[in-house]
Amino acid sequence: MEKILFAYDDIFLKHDTGEHPENLKRLIAINSILSKSEYAEYIEKIQPRKADKTDILRIHDENYIDSVAKRIAEGDTWLDIDTNVSADSVEAAYSAAGAGLTCADKIISGEFRRAFCAVRPPGHHAEKMHSMGFCIFNNIAITAKYLKEVHGIEKILILDWDVHHGNGTQHSFYDDPSVLFVSLHQYPFFPGTGTKEETGAGKGVNYTLNFPMDAGSHDNDYFKAFNERILPEINRYNPDFILISAGFDAHAHDPLASINLSTNAFAEFTKMALSVAHHADGRVISFLEGGYNLEVLTDSTLAHLETMITF
């Protein structure tokens, strides 16, 4: 058994989006199911530190960071057509960005090897200059930069299995060979990026790998992509650290997409990621992204966490 970190802060519930699909009920549901796990004693709950502005600046433009704070302080409730905010959303976003940094520090110190960041707002759509798709700051990209610049990690894998393409994460590292970005996502679909022809630029060519999946794809379609392409590429890359954008909205019962994955698929994805984690001394941090049917979100999250503990 492997004890894992579970980074969470009540401030995430104060990011009040009302009846928006990405709402506080998601984390309430996830927290409520933890005690039901037979492995609950292996889940170490921690309160993350808030990211500093310096941490956010590694990915986002200062004018954007300042404009988010200003607009929310002035009472704006929408940063863009999809991203709803409230008075406490800035503080929540700084804490969401800090969760990965807190876990990174503890893992680098050798205290733990695996962590899950139960955060909101999510992050993988957030671009350098703007919010997008429910996301304010790109939590996983900020953590990757922190690992590189503060802890000297040379090669990082970012694996994104959210049903929506992680455009913000891709753009953050599109010309950077020190980050291998791998994404499986429904296509064509929001946000419109993520074709297989998008493979990177400059020195980063072939360090972005997109696997667009047709609507209606099921477990075996994803397993085939993992086994035939993704796992061999990860083994070839030999990463020093693994980060996962763990969205659970590719589930067959999720209301916002048209992929037909089972709950067990997320356990299998986790096993496959952990099967190559020996390259990274077992060091893995996953981040909550999408998942909007509360029942399957909690079941899928629990499957992910229990696999991190038992595999």
pLDDT category of residue 20 using cuts at 50, 70 and 90: very high
Q: Phi, psi at residue 101, to the nearest 5°?
A: -70, -40
> 3-state DSSP call for residue 31?
helix
Nearest-angstrom CA–CA distance, 210 and 229:
11
Say if CB 303 and CB 261 are below 8 A apart: no
Over range 149-164, report the average pLDDT. Answer: 98
Please give the structure tokens belonging to residue 269: 């994805």
pLDDT category of residue 165 using cuts at 50, 70 and 90: very high
The secondary structure of 70-113 as a DSSP string is HHHHTT--BSSSS-B--TTHHHHHHHHHHHHHHHHHHHHTTS-S
Averaged pLDDT score across all residues of the chain: 98
Q: Give the CA angle between residues 3, 162, 167 to the nearest 5°.
A: 120
Count the helices and strands in the chain (H runs, E runs).
10, 8
Cβ atoms < 10 Å from Cβ of 34: 18
pLDDT category of residue 170 using cuts at 50, 70 and 90: very high
Q: What is the pLDDT of residues 67-101, one digit of tens each?
A: 999 999 999 999 999 999 999 999 999 999 999 99
Domains and CATH numbers, the chain: 4-310 (3.40.800.20)
Tokens 């909101």, residue located: 120
Q: Phi, psi at residue 113, to the nearest 5°?
A: -120, -20
Question: What pTM was estimated for this model as a whole?
Answer: 0.98
Q: What pLDDT was estimated at residue 36?
A: 85
Q: What pLDDT was estimated at residue 35?
A: 84
- The catalytic position among 15, 125, 165, 171 is 125
Q: What is the pLDDT of residues 21-66, one digit of tens each?
A: 999 999 999 999 998 899 999 999 999 999 999 999 999 999 999 9
Q: Is 125 a catalytic residue?
A: yes
Beta bridge partners of 117: 7, 287
Q: Which long-range contacts (CB under 8 A, 24 or more apart) does 49-52 make?
A: 49/95, 49/98, 49/101, 49/102, 50/91, 50/94, 50/95, 50/97, 50/98, 51/94, 51/95, 51/97, 51/98, 51/101, 51/137, 51/142
Over range 275-304, report the average pLDDT. Answer: 98
